[in-house]
A and B are shown apart, each in its own frame.
Chain A
């Protein structure tokens, strides 16, 4: 299995809602990532998990809360989002440094609309 699976594919939520994005991989990767991509822009890194521990938070607002309960699952909890948070959210996974970067894989993304 060489895929990263993201659910849901599309999500519309109100500014007072709480929702979660889910990302799964079964390649044995121990590094997982959340990227955010606004329209007509490149993906930008949000969070990095390494060995299920948050290793990098790129100054992301607290209304985005990541969670990595075990090595194959990465969640992104959303609360009190703003319309400007509407974007494509991409998950990725990779081996750790020293194990080769082969297999760095992106999911197909969740397209989020905040109304």
Chain B
């Protein structure tokens, strides 16, 4: 069974500090997908990034960057120069593809989330 561990339950940082959110996953599949989502207090899940298991390139998008390391089964997320608007719960998620009788689906397994509070 697949599993996602986000060991940090809550993190508080002062505005403009850098912060890294950790994500460790377990899966038996060689093909899988990893996601990060942001969930602000309003409740919607905001998609941040998706990575497939064959693409270990790190990615940077503005103040956000992701470090994917298959050797340690980790997919960590760094926010540089944090801002108050970054305050939210961040979820890491893992998906395997399930084929059933010619159809199939992708099911996401989420970590427990990390609540980030950025203090002005």
A binding-site residues for B, Cβ under 8 Å: 30-31, 33, 35, 41-45, 48, 50-51, 53, 55-56, 88, 90, 92, 94, 96-98, 101-102, 104-106, 108-109, 111
Query: Which of B47, B52, B108, B112 contacts A45 (CB under 8 A)?
Result: B108
In the complex, are the beta carbons of B45 and A97 less than 8 A apart? Answer: no
B105 at the A interface (CB under 8 A): yes
Stretch at the interface among B63-71, B77-85, B92-100: B92-100
In the complex, are the beta carbons of B106 and A101 less than 8 A apart? Answer: yes
Known interface pairs A101-B33, A108-B44; A50-B108 also in contact (CB < 8 Å):
no
In the complex, are the beta carbons of B33 and A111 less than 8 A apart? Answer: no
Interface size on B, residues (CB 8 A): 25
Question: How many residue pairs between the two chains, A and B, have CB atoms under 8 Å in the bound complex?
Answer: 76
Query: Which of A31, A105, A108 contacts B105 (CB under 8 A)?
Result: A31
Subset of 13 A-B contacts with CB under 8 Å: A42-B91, A42-B110, A55-B100, A96-B103, A96-B104, A96-B105, A97-B97, A101-B50, A101-B52, A101-B106, A102-B50, A104-B50, A104-B106
Contacts of A30 in B (CB 8 A): 103
| Alpha-carbon distance between A78 and B107 when the two chains are bound, in angstroms | 23
Contacts of A44 in B (CB 8 A): 110
In the complex, are the beta carbons of A45 and B107 less than 8 A apart? Answer: yes
| Alpha-carbon distance between A99 and B30 when the two chains are bound, in angstroms | 17
| Alpha-carbon distance between A106 and B38 when the two chains are bound, in angstroms | 12
In the complex, are the beta carbons of A97 and B98 less than 8 A apart? Answer: yes
In the complex, are the beta carbons of B105 and A56 less than 8 A apart? Answer: yes
| Alpha-carbon distance between A97 and B96 when the two chains are bound, in angstroms | 9
Contacts of B120 in A (CB 8 A): none
